[in-house]
């Protein structure tokens, strides 16, 4: 058990099996083994109040698809929620997830992630039991399980002790409002392509300048919107 504060994540969905692979492997798996994070998967169907374990029904006003009923969802949230917990609903109607937001969520001790299914969740639960709605990108997925995995994966990288190298997360893309620079490892020549000389020069000041220049050029080419944002924030 690590000395540091433990972070607890409850994930409410209809498919807890979805999370088995991603959460048992690699960096998340290791963070769980170290006891830095505790992930608890909750099957909302357990909270159905009918013997058929039905948790969805047809939308008022008509239209395609089904809607998750308020009772089982609210009961599932209330079964795990603590006084200081933040309840986040993953949905295309939320504010877009950013690196800044990930950092903020990483500070929280207890987070409840609510995954929607079908057309979504009865709006009244969002009003009464959800603190924040977050979207991982402007596209629509079949359910909220993958968005919850994406959010958790991007958040836990900011928790001290999760990445081997303590400040690895702060050198990645978006941390200074720019895309990351290119990376190289051995061999020195790969299919005729050489590693840039500057990276083998041992001159750390020149290397830092080169990397910054590469970041700026890449950002200008593929994400000029990020440069506009830097001007706005006066970075």
Q: Mark whether 8 is an active-site residue.
A: no
> Of 51-59, 89-97, 184-192, 199-207, which segment contacts ligand 4HQ by CB under 6 A?
89-97
Q: Per-residue string for binding with ligand 4HQ, 174-213, x by CB under 6 A? A: ----------------------------------------
By CB under 6 A, the count of residues binding ligand 4HQ is 14
- Closer residue to ligand 4HQ in complex, CB, 6/143: 143
116 binds ligand 4HQ (CB under 6 A): yes
Tokens 């603590």 found at: 82
Q: Mark whether 53 is an active-site residue.
A: no
- Closer residue to ligand 4HQ in complex, CB, 16/147: 147
The only residue of 90, 126, 152, 163 in contact with ligand 4HQ, by rule CB under 6 A:
90
- Closer residue to ligand 4HQ in complex, CB, 59/92: 92
Segment 126 to 185, residues that bind ligand 4HQ, using CB under 6 A: 135-137, 139-141, 143-144, 147
Q: Mark whether 16 is an active-site residue.
A: no
Do the beta carbons of residue 47 and residue 79 sit within 8 Å? Answer: yes
Of 8, 92, 132, 230, which is the active-site residue?
A: 92
- The CB-side HSE value for 74 (13 A sphere, CA atoms) comes to 12
Q: What is the number of the residue whose Cβ is closest to ligand 4HQ?
A: 116
Give the C-alpha distances (Å, rounded to integers) separating 154 from 97, 100, 106, 139. 10, 11, 9, 18
Q: Which residues contact 166 (CB under 8 A, 6 or more apart)?
A: 160
Do the beta carbons of residue 94 and residue 135 sit within 8 Å? Answer: yes
Tokens 């991007």 found at: 154
Of 172, 188, 203, 228, which is the active-site residue?
A: 172
User: Cβ 88 to ligand 4HQ, closest distance in Å?
Assistant: 10
72 binds ligand 4HQ (CB under 6 A): no
Q: Which helix (H) or strand (E) holds 135?
A: strand 132-135
Q: Mark whether 124 is an active-site residue.
A: no
61 Ramachandran zone, left/alpha/beta (phi>0; psi -120 to 50): left
Query: Which residues are 87's β-sheet partners?
Result: 112
User: Cβ 142 to ligand 4HQ, closest distance in Å?
Assistant: 7
Do the beta carbons of residue 41 and residue 19 sit within 8 Å? Answer: yes
Alpha helical stretches, state H, 43-169: 70-80, 99-106, 123-129, 145-156
The total of other beta-carbon atoms located within 10 Å of residue 77's CB is: 23
User: Cβ 90 to ligand 4HQ, closest distance in Å?
Assistant: 4
Give the C-alpha distances (Å, rounded to integers) separating 75 from 55, 81, 184. 12, 10, 51
- Residues classed as catalytic: 92, 119, 157, 172
Interface residue list for ligand 4HQ (CB under 6 A)? 90-92, 116, 120, 135-137, 139-141, 143-144, 147
């Amino acid at each position: 058990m690590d000395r540091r504060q433990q972070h607890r994540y409850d994930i409410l969905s209809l498919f807890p099996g979805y999370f088995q692979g991603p959460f048992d492997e690699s960096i998340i798996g290791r963070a769980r083994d170290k006891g830095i994070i505790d992930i608890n998967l909750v099957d909302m169907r357990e909270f159905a109040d009918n013997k058929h374990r039905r948790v969805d029904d047809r939308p008022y006003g008509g239209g395609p698809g089904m809607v998750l009923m308020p009772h089982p969802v609210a009961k599932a949230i209330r079964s795990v929620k603590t006084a200081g917990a933040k309840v986040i609903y993953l949905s295309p109607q939320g504010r877009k997830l950013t690196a800044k937001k990930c950092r903020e969520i990483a500070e929280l001790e207890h987070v409840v992630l609510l995954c929607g299914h079908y057309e979504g969740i009865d709006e009244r639960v969002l009003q009464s039991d959800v603190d924040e709605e977050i979207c991982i990108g402007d596209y629509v997925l079949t359910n909220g399980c993958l968005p919850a995995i994406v959010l958790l994966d991007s958040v836990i990288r900011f928790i001290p002790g999760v990445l081997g190298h303590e400040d690895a997360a702060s050198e990645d893309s978006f941390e200074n409002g720019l895309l990351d620079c290119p990376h190289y490892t051995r061999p020195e020549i790969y299919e005729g392509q050489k590693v840039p000389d500057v990276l083998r020069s041992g001159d750390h000041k020149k290397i830092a300048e080169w990397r910054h220049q590469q970041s700026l050029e890449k950002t200008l080419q593929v994400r000029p919107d990020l440069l506009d944002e830097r001007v706005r924030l006066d970075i």
